Amino acid sequence: MTVPNENGSCKPSVHDCGLVRYRDAFKFQLTLLEHRLKNNVLNTVLLLEHKPVITLGARQSENKLLVSEEDIKEKGIDIEATDRGGGTTAHNPGQIIVYPVIDIKSLGLGVNEYIRKLEAVGIEFLEQLDIKGQRKKGFPGLWVGEKKIGSVGVKVKKWITFHGMAINIKNDLSIFENIVPCGLEDVEITNVLKETGKEYSMSDVKRRLKELCIKHFSNKAQS
């Protein structure tokens, strides 16, 4: 992964980072964050998949494991503490990750408006795959009825965002059996494959999301 150079464009720079361990992607986000704070790089969006990992959010009361950390690690699943909002969640191949590292003030957005914008990207993306995704008041993320298909957890430092959104496409959902997702008891986790029976390639998924991120995160005041 390399840091993109500033070129004066008002569109975000969107990068496909492939399959990445969580800790490596987090370090890269922090590098991008420092460069964005100095205005050395564009607003940037990272698209990637994670190797199997369970992440713990900053709100300890929402971090709930159903099996021991030793049992989780024996399954080849990493466990990582994070500084993002929200509680425990899981990532693995076949789930698409969207990490925007952007200056929300450059888009004229506040923090809550940005989160709604990020969710809007996910909802519009799901619509393209014939899924009616929706918000659920008081529960950030993406929902299909009472089933959760995507999670949102962000952090903002001096108006620069990091962390972001994860949407289940065709991942092995059994990883969620190790946790209480986002601290929510008895929530069913689903994915695009389960809801539609269609198996989309991750390259197609990334192409669609790249277009949507450019649409929603371009600086319209300068375009």
> What are 63-120's pLDDT values in tens digits?
889 999 999 999 999 999 998 877 899 999 999 999 999 999 999 999 999 999 999 9
What is the separation, in whole angstroms, between the first and last Cα of the chain?
A: 28
* Residue 142 lies inside a defined structural domain of this protein: yes
Q: What is the token pair recorded at 50?
A: 């994670």
**pTM (predicted TM-score):** 0.92
* Residue 191 lies inside a defined structural domain of this protein: yes
Q: What's the pLDDT score for residue 184?
A: 76
Rounded to the nearest integer, the mean pLDDT of the chain is 92
* Residue 2 lies inside a defined structural domain of this protein: no
What percent of the chain has pLDDT above 70? 94
Q: How far is CA 198 from CA 35, 192, 195, in A?
A: 39, 7, 8
Q: What's the pLDDT score for residue 220?
A: 59
Q: What's the pLDDT score for residue 85?
A: 76
In CATH, what number is assigned to the domain containing residue 207? Answer: 3.30.930.10
Is the pLDDT confidence value at 221 over 50? Answer: no
Which sequence positions are flagged as catalytic? Answer: 182
* Residue 221 lies inside a defined structural domain of this protein: no
* Residue 4 lies inside a defined structural domain of this protein: no
Per-residue confidence band for 7, with pLDDT thresholds at 50, 70 and 90: very low
* Residue 64 lies inside a defined structural domain of this protein: yes
Is the pLDDT confidence value at 201 over 50? Answer: yes
- Which range marks the domain in which residue 127 is found? 13-216
* Residue 7 lies inside a defined structural domain of this protein: no
Measured CA to CA, the distance from residue 88 to residue 149 in angstroms comes to 15
Q: What's the pLDDT score for residue 223?
A: 33
For the chain, what is the domain count?
A: 1
Q: What's the pLDDT score for residue 182?
A: 77
Lowest model confidence (mean pLDDT) among 3-12, 20-29, 103-112, 180-189 = 3-12
* Residue 222 lies inside a defined structural domain of this protein: no
Q: What is the pLDDT of residues 160-185, one digit of tens each?
A: 999 999 999 999 999 999 999 877 78
